[in-house]
Structure 1
Amino acid sequence: MIRDALPEDYSTEPGLTSSQLLRTLGQAQNLIYKFFLEIVDTLPPEDVLLEFKRLFINHINVTSSEVQQALYDILFVNNEEEFRHTLKRCCYILVNNWEASRHHQSIQNLVNLFEDPAISQYSPSPTTKRLRMWLLNFINSSDFQEIKLFCSRIDTPEVEHWTERFTAYLLVPQYVNFKNPVEQREAARARSQQIKERFKFDLAMYTAHSQSKVINPVKTYKNPTSLGEEVLRLIKVILARRGPFNYLNLANIFLKQIESLNYKEFKDALIEYLAFSIEQKDFIETLRSHLSKKFVRLYESHDEDTVTKALILRTCNKIISYLTTENRKDPSPLFILLLSQGNPLPLVIILLKIILVSKPSRIFLEARVAELILYYQNYDETDCRWIIDFMEILNIAFAIYAENVQYNLIKMNGEGLEDKTLVDLDDYRVFSQMNQASTTEDIPEELEIDENP
């Protein structure tokens, strides 16, 4: 029995009721949480890591004997799920604080603790044996994989696996899941936003400097995408839709026009709005056909009701599911069909137009994209180049239409961009500017510096 390995002053008596065990478990967990919340604020990261290792890896010589006793209490209750919840929340207490204080290497060091050979070593002690078995199970779980996402670097485009370029999406399911500890949700949201802001900054700097004839020998800006030099032309194509009929203005016009419509009329108008300005006829015919069939029964009990913000949100979320993944596991048939036409840009533009009329739907979209990444993660980059291109273009489109970045397309002969199809994009240059609306807590430190291209 595990009790044989517990210290003599172990306070839990045999024969406790389930409610007493749960109360003991809750008290033990809170004691451990309080301990790490205190030391992460008062001790340097290396000392915090040492305490974490002493408690969870070596389970000896913890500074607080009460905390060490609390872990024994949790082990004695013999509830692996609660142990994992305790370990996971302790990890995120540290991750959340170190994210805020930019101690990113400390997060990597925390993950490295789980590579300690001691975890796999045999122990005759039932207590140690149980602890190590549960640690190994945790290491092999999705919970641990989620923690490892926080180790991805944001200061370099170099990655070991193509999915690392889209960590911002993979973090979204963590912070939209209310079952996760609050520390995990806060850390995931902050990290995801930080990666997005870094991408926007790097794209803006690369765009500016790659078009400059003056080479800066001190600092160069790398392309944050895997699209090569084609990224500049892609940005120009997206920006070419400017003037009174740019995507943002179209969204605002559409929202004004639907104010007095009933829900059935709104669904019809939504299809027309999404199809407008998309030049690929085959793509639009496919989209119209599928959405028209889906819309017949979509919330049909509300067809005669005046459309509301709630209905707009629910409908936009449904369309996003149709266009990405409907079962949250596999790509939807429409997603595969539309991308099989060879050009990801029209689908990206459709998704952008959806978000511009329903901004709260963006998190929903990002969560669905995360599920697509997980579906394709075991594919080699060469085998899923089309899905990677889709995600790269999606990143670029949302960077261009971000609230804190402004992109403009200027003709180099001094004329502004005309509201017509561009004949030669080479005659135009892209200019980007970070807006003052950006807050320092949401963006990388580099954005606080005045960069002159």
Structure 2
Amino acid sequence: MVRDILSDGYQAEFRVISNQPDRDMIYRFLVDIVQQWPPEAVLQEFKQLFIYYSPNAVNTNAVKALSDIIFANDEEEFKNTLKRSCYILINNWETTRSYKAIKELVLVFSDLNISKSTLSPSLSKLRLWLVNFIKSQDYQDLKIFAARYEEHEATHWSHRYTSYLLVPQYANLSNPVEQREAARALSQELKDRFKFELAMYTTRSQSAMPREILPKNPTGLGDEVLRLIKTIVAKRGPFSYTNLANIFLQQTQGLLYKNFKHSLQKYLIFSVENRKFVEVLKTKLEEKLDVVYENHHEETLDDALLLRTCNRVIEYLTTENHREPSPLFILLMSQGHPLTLVIVLLKILLICKNVRTHLETCIAELIKYYMHYPEEDCKWVVNFFEIFHITFAIYGENVQYNLIKMNGNGTKKLPNGTAQMYRVFSQLKLDSDIKAATSAIAEAMSDQVAED
């Protein structure tokens, strides 16, 4: 049974706007039909309402409500109504796995009738608003939901990072609740899928399986991804990133804010081996941190101040104006060590879990900035996104990677040139449908240990 999109958590949102009968009427109409009709019929009624603006036996009240918005000449009201209407359908179709309908909903806006001239003033205004909607970021956000079903097609490099591109949608509280929930759910689904596929590929690609039957490599790094994973996982024991973060938090409890900022700089560059990177980061970050929240210098650090500071550091390292890369990002990336920058961002997350949404929003903004370039022209930054994606999948809450030396001896560091002596094994702890497939990983691990 299709869930009522206006029930439970949606009731509160609906009551807030219940003094707007035009929206109310349209939303109720869409909820009623999406619960009872097949997706094809719902799509046709959606077009009858928003594209053709044509009344029939079932949509009369909805068309009248839309007419009231048009007569009021309220384009903003129309845009918000159209957006929420789309996400009402998307959320319901996600529940019933009607994925094809979601893709077709996005294609509705390519209807040639939108650009046709008409003698009707109301229809002319509606079509103008539709054209404006198609040119807006709101429509680009909508297209992200269809991109996931185009894996068999030649897609843009940015589609590999859809899980991040969705984050600004659910982080923006001005978006409809349906859009925020749909974006959050899809983002998490894509992250879990990537973690699973990465774990399967990592484990089975180290076995004696024929190459043609190996799981698909979900990354854009090719075979090099195995060495990258080993490099990341090799940081273990007392000097693991997680342990260092815990020690840092213990040592900075009760510190005055100005002293905390100095400790933070030392923590971020600790164990970074590239000296040129360290000098650039130390100099430029010190300039920023010395003046940030100066009025709190004599206060004791608290969780709120920790969060605000970590958010600012993330912006300094990625994008300060949320439109283009920050000067420090460009400078650090010019050093040619994207993994080092990713690890610095990881260290920030490990001392303040609540920065994740802001961090992923900043990454999404960088992706949006560079997505207008062909992959060949921006390989260096695509490489950064790929390493970020992999690193944060490895450090996910529901996955654990282990590096094992196959002769039985443990190791705390992965020496150069000895990566082939080690195997990476992964353990997933997912509660979704893919949980059952973890047994395949365990089986592959057992087979590989036996072989070696």
Change (3 A) 1:144 1:366: same
Alignment pair present for 1:395 and 2:389: yes
Give a deviation string over 1:308-354, Cα, whole Å, max 9, x none. Answer: 11111111111101000111112111100101011201000000000
**Could you say which residue in structure 2 is the equivalent of 1:86?**
81
Give the equivalent residue in structure 2 for 1:3. none
Distance in 1 (CA, whole Å) between partners of 2:428 and 2:281 is: 35
Q: 2:345 and 2:208 mapped to 1: Cα distance?
A: 35
Is 1:201 the counterpart of 2:209? The answer is no
How far does residue 305 in structure 1 lie from its aligned partner after superposition? 1.4
2:44 equivalent to 1:56: no
Query: Residues 74, 62 of structure 1: CA spacing in aligned structure 2 closer, same or farther, 3 A cutoff?
Result: farther
2:214 is the alignment partner of 1:220: yes
Alignment correspondent of 1:439? 431
**SS of 2:404 mapped into structure 1:** strand
Task: Rate the CA distance shift 1:118–1:420 in 2: closer, same or farther, 3 A.
Answer: closer
Answer whether contact 2:237 2:412 (CA < 8 A) is retained: yes
* Secondary structure in structure 1 of the residue aligned to 2:193: helix
CA distance in 2, matches of 1:430, 1:324: 30
- Of stretches 298-307 and 400-409 in structure 1, the one that deviates more from structure 2 is 298-307
Normalising by structure 1, we get a TM-score of 0.89
- Partners of 1:110 and 1:99 in 2: CA distance: 13
CA distance in 2, matches of 1:138, 1:423: 54
Q: TM-score, normalised by structure 2?
A: 0.90
**Where does residue 177 of structure 2 map in the other structure?**
182
Secondary structure at the counterpart of residue 148 of structure 2: coil
Q: Secondary structure at the match of 2:427?
A: strand
Following the alignment from structure 1 to structure 2, what is the Cα–Cα distance between the partners of residues 426 and 312? 41
After TM superposition, give the deviation of residue 419 of structure 1 in Å: 4.9
What is the aligned partner in structure 2 of residue 375 from structure 1?
369
The 5 A counterparts of 1:7-406 are 26-60=20-54, 61=56, 63-153=58-148, 156=151, 159-215=154-210, 220-406=214-400
CA-CA distance at 1:24 after TM superposition? 11
User: Aligned partners of 1:207 and 1:362: how far apart in 2?
Assistant: 25
Alignment partners' CA distance in 1, 2:72 and 2:269:
59
> How far is the alpha carbon of 1:260 from its aligned partner?
2.1
Unaligned runs of 5+ in 2: 1-16, 445-452
Structure-2 change in CA distance of 1:156 and 1:120 (3 Å): closer
* Deviation of the 1:39 alpha carbon: 2.1
- Give SS of 1:360's match: helix
Counterpart CA distance in 2 for 1:225 and 1:157 is 15
Structure 2 contact 171–180 (Cα < 8 Å) conserved: yes
Structure-1 separation of matches of 2:220 and 2:46: 38
| Number of equivalences | 424
Change (3 A) 1:32 1:367: same
> Hey, what's the Cα distance between the residues in 1 that align with 2:246 and 2:150?
36
Distance in 2, matches of 1:144 and 1:294, equals 36
**C-alpha distance after superposition, 1:203-259 (max 9, x if no partner):** 111111111102387x53111111111100000011110112111111111111111
Task: Give the % identical residues.
Answer: 54
Shift of 1:124: 1.6
Q: Mind listing any 5+ residue stretches in structure 1 that lack a counterpart?
A: 1-22
Contact preservation (8 Å) 1:283, 1:341: yes
1:154: how far off?
A: 6.6
1:410–1:416: 8 Å Cα contact kept in structure 2? yes
- Following TM superposition, by how much is the alpha carbon of 1:420 offset from its aligned partner in structure 2, in angstroms? 6.7
From 412, 416, 438, the counterpart of 2:406:
412
In structure 2, the CA distance between the partners of 1:229 and 1:154, relative to structure 1 (3 Å rule), is farther
